[in-house]
Amino acid sequence: ASLLNRDELMFSYKGILYPITICSAEAFKALESFEARSDDVILAAYPKSGTNWLRRILIDLIAISQKKTPGEEGSGNAEKPEEIPYLEVGDPEKYERMTKLPSPRFMATHLYPENLPTSIFRNKVKILLLIRNPKDVATSFFHFSNGVAIFPSYETWDDFFTDFMSKKVAWGSYFDHLAEWNKYIDNERIITISYEELKEDPILGMKKIASFFGFSLCEEDFSRIAKNTTFKAMKEKSSETHGKFGDVLFRKGVVGNWRDVFSEAQNEEMYRKFQDSLGGTKMAA
Ligand code: A3P
């Protein structure tokens, strides 16, 4: 939550809003010529879909499949998670620093696919697309926006809902994001996983991911990662891993928390918007 308003905290780049404190037009320009490696591991998700959870799972899967303890020197960039959590976040020089990282490099992104560097598609990089129910995403985003200073604060949930539905939040519209990614959904280098399926059966979800990326792990490894990445376990360590963001980031970690804030009319409005943007696609199935 900040005393500054939306226009002071965000800037628009190619029609989409981004937080001014962590993103810049200069970095976006530099990102265009970023050279992806074919063995990069990319996690794509709209904000508040569980990105930090899956990021942690992926980093552990990579490290353990390389027979390294997560965090050990040489296990990709896992030893420096604070350096590159998001491809588009940071200073323009970070892409040069990334050229020195060992493979496989891990990166997350909230960008629409059309705003990603073209080398990602040219070099056939594998992408894990994480999706989550829009109502829980909006609820999570509302609380996060009020909890951290890089985003505007909202006096009421209704005000946030209006902004969320009209693309006036950071990283643009949930619906456009998914509709754009939906164009790639049948691409064999893209796998989709939902927050809800991961929550229901984390080990099954992890096995799906590991087999897609070709990581080899044993049953015990999967159980260990599942145990270390429960909501409770991650929340307990959150001030260590995410500093001052920890507390607001690991908020509830459940499916269906939208019921606390949505009115019946908002529920219907979102249903209609979802059907209009994504009805008939695999995203809606
Ligand atoms: P809630 O606000 O609904 O609790 P992101 O990392 O993309 O910003 O997403 C944040 C959301 O993921 C938050 O949702 C957070 O609680 C949830 N989350 C984080 N770690 C989790 C975990 N280990 N298990 C389940 N949900 C988790």
Q: What is the ipTM of this complex?
A: 0.99
First-to-last alpha carbon distance for the chain, in angstroms, is 35
Mean pLDDT estimate for the chain: 92
Mutation choice for ligand 1 from 51, 89, 136, 140, CB with most ligand atoms inside 8 A: 140
Q: Which CATH number fits domain 34-140+172-284: 3.20.20.120, 3.40.50.300, 3.40.47.10, 3.90.1140.10?
A: 3.40.50.300
Tell me which of 71 and 244 has the higher pLDDT. 244
What pLDDT is stored for residue 79 in this prediction?
41
Share of the chain above pLDDT 70, in %: 93
Judge contact between 135 and 260, C-beta under 8 A: no
In degrees to the nearest 10, what's the CA dihedral of 237, 238, 244, 250?
-150
Judge contact between 139 and 261, C-beta under 8 A: yes
134 CA distance to ligand 1 middle (Å): 14
Length, in residues, of the chain? 285
Ligand 1-lining residues (CB < 6 angstroms)? 45, 47-53, 136, 140, 143, 199, 229-231, 234, 249-253, 257
Judge contact between 170 and 151, C-beta under 8 A: yes
Alpha carbons 143 and 87: distance in angstroms, whole number: 24
Alpha carbons 27 and 62: distance in angstroms, whole number: 27
What pLDDT is stored for residue 1 in this prediction?
61
User: Tens digits of per-residue pLDDT, 49-64?
Assistant: 999 999 999 989 998 8
Alpha carbons 283 and 178: distance in angstroms, whole number: 8
What pLDDT is stored for residue 75 in this prediction?
43
What pLDDT is stored for residue 177 in this prediction?
97
Tokens 């005000």 sit on residue: 159
What pLDDT is stored for residue 7 in this prediction?
86
256 CA distance to ligand 1 middle (Å): 12
Mutation choice for ligand 1 from 22, 43, 46, 48, CB with most ligand atoms inside 8 A: 48
233 CA distance to ligand 1 middle (Å): 12
**Secondary structure of the chain in HEC code, one letter for each residue:** CCCCCHHHHEEEECCEEEECCCCCHHHHHHHHCCCCCCCCEEEEECCCCCHHHHHHHHHHHHHHHCCCCCCCCCCCCCCCCCCCCECCCCCCCHHHHHCCCCCCCEEEECCCHHHCCCHHHHCCCEEEEEECCHHHHHHHHHHHHHHCCCCCCCCCHHHHHHHHHCCCCCCCCHHHHHHHHHCCCCCCCEEEEEHHHHHHCHHHHHHHHHHHHCCCCCHHHHHHHHHHCCHHHHHHCHHHHHHHHHHHHCCCCCCCHHHHCCCHHHHHHHHHHHHHHHCCCHHHC
Tell me the mean pLDDT in the region 16-36.
96
Tokens 């996060």 sit on residue: 144
Give the pTM. 0.95
Share of the chain above pLDDT 90, in %: 80
248 CA distance to ligand 1 middle (Å): 10
CB-based contacts of 145, cutoff 8 Å, min separation 6: 1, 151, 152, 153, 154, 160, 169
What pLDDT is stored for residue 185 in this prediction?
93
Mutation choice for ligand 1 from 200, 229, 247, 251, CB with most ligand atoms inside 8 A: 251
Judge contact between 6 and 168, C-beta under 8 A: yes
Is the confidence at residue 13, as pLDDT, over 70?
yes
User: Tens digits of per-residue pLDDT, 83-140?
Assistant: 557 999 999 999 998 998 888 888 999 999 999 999 999 999 999 999 999 999 999 9
